[in-house]
Each structure stands twice: as C-alpha cells, then as structure tokens.
Amino acid sequence: MKVVMKKKKEEFIKLLRKNKVRKKVIDAYEQINQLDFFDEAFSKKLYTDQPVPIGSGHVSDPPVALARMLHYLDLKNTSRVLEIGTGSGYSTALLSFMAKDVFSIEYQENFAREARVKMNNVDISNVRLFAGDGFYLEDELGRFDAIIICAACQKRPIPLMAHLSPGGKMVFPMGPAYRQQIAVMSNADDENSGTPYPTNFYEFCEFPLAIGPFGLDINRFNMDE
C-alpha cells in the first residue's frame, strides 16, 4: 500500500506542477498525506482528480480545483487564515503548512469532531476547529489575512469582508450547482471605478453548494412553511 500511495502521490504532484500551482502549495501537498484524512477503503480515489467520499453523503473538494484556490490565496508564513468548510480536515492540514494560524469552521458537527482527532494524530497544532455556520462569525475571532470557502456560493458573501484585513483576499467557488468559477475577492477598492471588493473569476470548477443564504438556503425547503 505504501509503495502504491507513494507512486500515486508523485504522479499527483506532477499534475499540480502541470497546472502551474505555486511551489508553496505543492510543498504542502508533499508534506501532508491523504491517508491520514480519508478512509483507506477509498484508496483508489486518493491522489487523483476525483473527490473522495467523507461520510454522510458528502465528498471532498475536487483536488486540482482546491490546489488552484490555494494558489490564488497566496498565503504567507505569517498569515492568519479562516477556512469555511473543514470537511475531512485535509484542506485544513494543507493550510496549516502554509500559514501561521488556521481557524476552520465546519457546518457538520461530526466532521469538525473527527477533524480534530485527525489533527491530533498528525501533531498539527496551529489549527483551531469550530462547529457552526462560518458565514456568521463572532467578532472575537478578529480579522484574517485570508479567507477560503470550500463550498460554492451563488452570490458574493460580502458580510465576511468585515472579518478580512485591508488588502486581504477571499477565495471561493461562485456560481450555480454543478457549474462555478473560482472567485478571488479583495478587501480593497477597484483602481478604476472605486467600487469596493473587486472580484476576479478564474477556472471553472464543481463544488457542492454552501449551506445558507449564499448557497443552498435550507430554510426555503422547510416543509412546515
């Protein structure tokens, strides 16, 4: 198994280089092992461009699209980063290698709990994990240098910009179900128009919709209404 995983990992790293991902991001992928965050039963999907089941009908982020999002996030060693959507904890572990402090919020409480165990197992200590709705933050968490949302938004989550430092970036998939683009929104004013929060769009991707008013608003499907 170890020999097979090593070979698959080497091929996956080559795929990331082909997609022109920053060296800092590739270094994180080399450092973090997928087997520490996913069930061995899905080993055939590890180190491929296929999402991996993580339980409760959910899957991991699409691998290459996630790497490109981390590329656009452009973290520094001193960065304080917020992740919305912990999932298996794999993306969180990648962030921990690239940033100084990582705060990750997961809507599914069981995922947050399991991710905490996984972080302890691999001795990752610069991550704080929370269960809850990441789109509604407490002010006590302070401001972040970068924010990444690992779920698709159908409109820009502008309220989160209040938690982003001036000049910071927020990266997220934006668009309807099954068809989005990677969006990079800056906490600044557009140089030409002066309008706030200029947003650039990049590759197409496919993430599950975020739960809440910016993605899939479950209140709209409440049968009691």
State residue 221's pLDDT score: 40
What residue spans define the domains of the chain? 2-221
- pTM of the complete model beyond 0.95: no
> Are 209 and 152 a contacting pair, CB within 8 Å?
yes
At residue 217 the predicted structure's pLDDT band, cuts being 50, 70 and 90, is low
Note every long-range contact of 186-194, with CB atoms under 8 Å and residues 24 or more positions apart, other chains counting.
187/161
Query: Which pLDDT tens digit goes with each residue over 36-55?
Result: 999 999 999 999 999 999 99
Query: Which pLDDT tens digit goes with each residue over 115-169?
Result: 999 999 999 999 999 999 999 888 888 999 999 999 999 999 999 999 999 999 9
What number does CATH give the domain 2-221?
Answer: 3.40.50.150
| Phi/psi of residue 24, nearest 5 degrees | -60, -40
